[in-house]
Amino acid sequence: KQEVTQIPAALSVPEGENLVLNCSFTDSAIYNLQWFRQDPGKGLTSLLLIQSSQREQTSGRLNASLDKSSGRSTLYIAASQPGDSATYLCAVISMSDNAGNMLTFGGGTRLMVKP
Amino acid sequence: NAGVTQTPKFQVLKTGQSMTLQCAQDMNHNSMYWYRQDPGMGLRLIYYSASEGTTDKGEVPNGYNVSRLNKREFSLRLESAAPSQTSVYFCASSEFETQPQHFGDGTRLSIL
């Protein structure tokens, strides 16, 4: 059964700092990996999706990388801003899960960017 | 620009009561999903519908039923609510199963 882990669980940084969020997964047979952002009391907003054949995706100040063979992904946030404060979740769709193409989520990293 | 709309946003039930959570998407997506989010457990898939007319169990289907009413709407029903079903419920949709999923704002459900 696929398991997804995110480290650290919480992170506090000063504004302007570049930062890296980590995600690891146990089964490398995946279709894709998706990074989400969740604001308090809100749903999830999709940030980036990386197909299994891709190494990275970029959107603005965000860059996500994927190393499928080692079961790792990183989300790099450049020049962090207070508006980046949120919980960041990674999720994978595994080829081998019995429940179709379900997303398996990590526990999230709660990010706070201080002005 | 509604995306995925869930109703109600909040609900309090007594043990044994039934209710249906509603979800509708306006993006012409084929696949729809119901998740629950619990502290320490993360998000877990309850049921999904790969396309109109099909539904399948996810990781935690017990105590729930679903209906894919049409391409736009996917409802989740609790027949006899239990305190263990207190959670935040999210509906999501995607164009196809391996495409990015778009989430609603959630329904916060408390069962006393």
DSSP string, A22-66: EEEES---EEEEEEEEE-TTS-EEEEEEEETT-SEEEETTEEEEE
The type of residue at B87 is: S
Pairing status of strand A109-114 against strand A10-14: parallel
Q: Is A40 on the interface with B (CB under 8 A)?
A: no
Over residues A5-24, the pLDDT tens digits come to 999 999 999 999 999 999 99
CA distance B75 to B66: 6
Over residues B33-65, the pLDDT tens digits come to 999 999 888 899 999 998 898 999 988 999 999
pLDDT tops 60 at residue A98 = no
Closest residue of chain A to B39, computed from CA coordinates: A107
pLDDT at position A97: 58
pLDDT > 90: what percent of chain A? 81
pLDDT tops 80 at residue B82 = yes
Tokens 């995925």, residue?
B4
In chain A, what residues touch B38 (CB-CB under 8 Å)?
none
pLDDT tops 60 at residue A100 = no
Chain B interface disruption, residue of A105, A109, A110, most B CBs within 10 A: A105
